Structures are given as structure tokens and as C-alpha cells.
């Protein structure tokens, strides 16, 4: 009899339990992450400390933000305004901006904030070709020149908007940021999709689906303001390969609280994950700090 067999026999007689030989004593626990998405309302100066606190007090570890004024002159005065100034703190040391279009001598876009370790982040264009090529140059010029202290620039943008309406398609982007928790990497996507055209928006849905399906990172999360405001049927394209927070178990949570008569539904913000992530505790945080309210969920990495 081998020594290990003699040892096992002895401890069995003594009533002592031994772990299985060759087996690991460590247990791999599931990792949970608090995730959020929040449109901050660009046309108004907001209490950005309050907006940040809504997420921080809910222990949101990583969030996507939309409608960011980035060092621009959207508002009257000599000082450029930056929505993100009050978001960077000890809890959110990583604040990553992605510009969608130059605006008022600065930028307008989206941002990802993270309490978790950030490995890297990159901006990508969202599909809008053939929808805005004709008027894009004029839109870029009017946006970049806009300054509320210079009436001619305000009138120029107003006239352009009145003439072309929803034919003026703003360029859109998405961010892909790799964050890490418990040694597990998550590809965290953040976006703000087009409101001007349902057809265009659904093309953007398909683009994001294809990008995420090709992503080699094990865990994938997509958040944002998707502007899917004409109904909830369009979300079905995600359901085969992904889980949805808004719409989970047939429950649609209004995340837009403003007044827009063109919208048929207000459940336009969402958190979407790969199938190996379980979504729970989906909720909104009531506040009037924006015309949207944060959508938050607990994600369990399986």
C-alpha cells in the first residue's frame, strides 16, 4: 500500500476528514458589479455634484454618461463649461470622455466613469452614413461656431435646424472601456444613439450587436441612451444573444422624465449584457437633476 493510502486509512479510522488529494481548496465566487447609465441633459447647467452623488450613493461602480458638454461655450460667459469637472473624485478616479462632435469651441459627447480599475478605453463611430452626409458639413460648422454671447452664431444654428429638422443627423459614437474586478475583465460599452430616425437607430442596434458578438472579452456590458422612443419591439434584436435590464420580465422602466410629445415610450435607457452575466435589482433613481433618471442594476458575472 502506498503512503497516501496508509494515511487515508488512518484518518478514516480516527474520524478525520481529508480534502480530496489533488483538488483545489479555493472556491471561485461569482463577482457582482453595480452598473448604471445616466443622460445628464446638455442644454442646461445642472447640479453635477448632485448627479454624481446619485450614482455614488447607490454604489455604482461603473457608469455610462451621455450629453456631456466638454470645455465648451454652450452657456453665456467667458469660462468654458465642463460637465465632468465634479465627477472626478476619490470614488470615481477614472473619468473618460469621448467626443461625438465639436461644439461651441469645445466638445459634446459621452463619458464613462469608473470606481474599478480601467485597463484601457477607445472611441468608435456609430453608423450614420447616408443619413447625414449631405448636411453634415453645415451642421459641424454651426455647432462649432455656436456661442450664446454671439447672436449671429445662435441664429445660424436656429435657421439650419428650422430648415432641415431631423434631416440634420448628429454624429454618434460609442466607447469601449475595459474595466477589471476580481481579476475578471469586462468590456464596458457606452453610447448615445440617434433620435432622428428609427430606421437609422435600428441599423445602429445591429452594428453594436455585431461588434459585441465579435468581442473576445468574456464579459460584455452595453449601456446608454438608445432613444428607442417609438415602442419597445425594437429591443427584440438583442434578446437572442444578450440580456436586457430595462424590459426584464416584461417590465419597462421610464428613464426619461421630460416632456416630448413625439415620444411614444419613455423607457429609452438600458443596460445590456452578454448571456454569462445575470441581471438583478434593476431600478431607477428618482431625481429632477436631469430630464433623465439613472438606470441602475446589479450584474453577476457567472
Percent of the chain with pLDDT over 90: 87
45 found inside a domain: yes
pLDDT tens-digit profile of 255-269?
999 999 999 999 999
pLDDT tens-digit profile of 178-221?
999 999 999 999 999 999 999 999 999 999 999 999 999 999 99
Name which of 46-60, 120-134, 275-289 the model is least confident about.
Answer: 120-134
Please report the pLDDT score of residue 132 as a whole number. Answer: 66
Percent of the chain with pLDDT over 70: 90
- Enumerate long-range contacts of 80-86, CB under 8 Å, 24 or more apart: 80/105, 80/106, 81/45, 81/106, 82/106, 83/40, 83/42, 83/46, 83/48, 83/111, 84/48, 84/111, 85/48, 86/48, 86/49, 86/51, 86/52
Please report the pLDDT score of residue 255 as a whole number. Answer: 98
pLDDT at 13 over 80: no
Give the residue-averaged pLDDT of 262-282. 98
pLDDT at 27 over 60: no
Please report the pLDDT score of residue 134 as a whole number. Answer: 83
Which residue range forms the structural domain that includes residue 125? 28-132+169-301
266 found inside a domain: yes
150 found inside a domain: no
pLDDT tens-digit profile of 70-99?
999 999 999 999 999 999 999 999 999 999
CATH of residue 33's domain is 3.60.10.10
Contacts of 263 (CB under 8 A, 6+ apart): 229, 230, 256
22 found inside a domain: no
Please report the pLDDT score of residue 123 as a whole number. Answer: 98
pLDDT at 8 over 60: no
127 found inside a domain: yes
Contacts of 236 (CB under 8 A, 6+ apart): none
117 found inside a domain: yes
Name the 3-class secondary structure at 256: strand
Number of domains in the chain: 1
Please report the pLDDT score of residue 55 as a whole number. Answer: 98
140 found inside a domain: no
Please report the pLDDT score of residue 29 as a whole number. Answer: 78
Name which of 26-30, 148-152, 214-218 the model is least confident about.
Answer: 26-30
Amino acid at each position: 500500500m502506498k503512503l497516501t493510502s496508509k494515511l487515508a486509512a488512518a484518518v478514516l479510522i480516527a474520524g478525520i476528514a481529508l480534502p480530496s488529494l489533488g483538488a483545489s481548496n479555493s472556491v471561485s465566487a461569482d463577482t457582482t458589479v453595480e452598473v448604471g447609465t445616466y443622460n445628464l441633459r446638455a442644454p442646461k447647467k445642472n447640479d453635477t455634484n448632485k448627479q454624481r452623488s446619485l450614482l455614488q450613493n447607490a454604489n455604482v461602480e461603473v457608469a455610462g454618461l451621455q450629453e456631456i458638454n466638454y470645455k465648451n461655450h454652450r452657456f453665456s460667459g467667458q469660462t468654458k463649461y465642463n460637465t465632468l469637472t465634479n465627477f472626478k473624485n476619490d470614488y470615481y478616479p477614472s473619468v473618460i470622455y469621448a467626443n461625438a462632435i465639436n461644439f461651441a469651441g469645445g466638445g459634446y459627447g459621452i463619458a464613462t466613469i469608473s470606481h474599478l480599475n480601467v485597463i484601457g478605453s477607445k472611441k468608435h463611430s456609430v453608423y450614420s452614413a447616408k443619413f447625414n452626409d449631405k448636411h453634415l458639413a453645415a451642421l459641424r460648422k454651426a455647432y462649432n461656431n455656436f456661442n450664446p454671447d454671439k447672436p449671429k452664431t445662435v441664429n445660424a444654428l436656429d435657421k439650419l435646424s428650422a430648415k432641415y429638422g431631423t434631416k440634420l443627423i448628429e454624429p454618434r459614437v460609442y466607447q469601449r472601456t475595459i474595466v477589471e474586478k476580481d481579476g475578471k475583465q469586462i468590456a464596458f460599452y457606452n453610447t448615445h444613439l440617434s433620435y432622428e430616425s428609427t430606421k437609422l437607430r435600428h441599423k445602429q442596434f445591429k452594428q453594436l450587436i455585431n461588434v459585441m458578438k465579435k468581442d473576445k472579452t468574456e464579459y460584455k456590458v452595453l449601456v446608454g441612451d438608445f432613444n428607442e422612443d417609438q415602442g419597445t419591439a425594437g429591443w427584440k434584436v438583442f434578446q437572442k444573444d444578450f440580456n436586457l435590464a430595462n424590459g426584464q420580465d416584461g417590465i419597462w422602466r421610464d428613464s426619461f422624465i421630460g416632456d416630448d410629445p413625439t415620444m411614444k415610450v419613455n423607457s429609452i435607457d438600458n443596460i445590456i449584457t452578454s448571456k454569462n452575466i445575470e441581471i438583478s435589482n434593476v431600478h431607477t433613481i428618482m431625481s429632477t437633476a436631469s430630464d433623465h433618471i439613472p438606470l441602475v442594476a446589479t450584474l453577476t458575472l457567472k
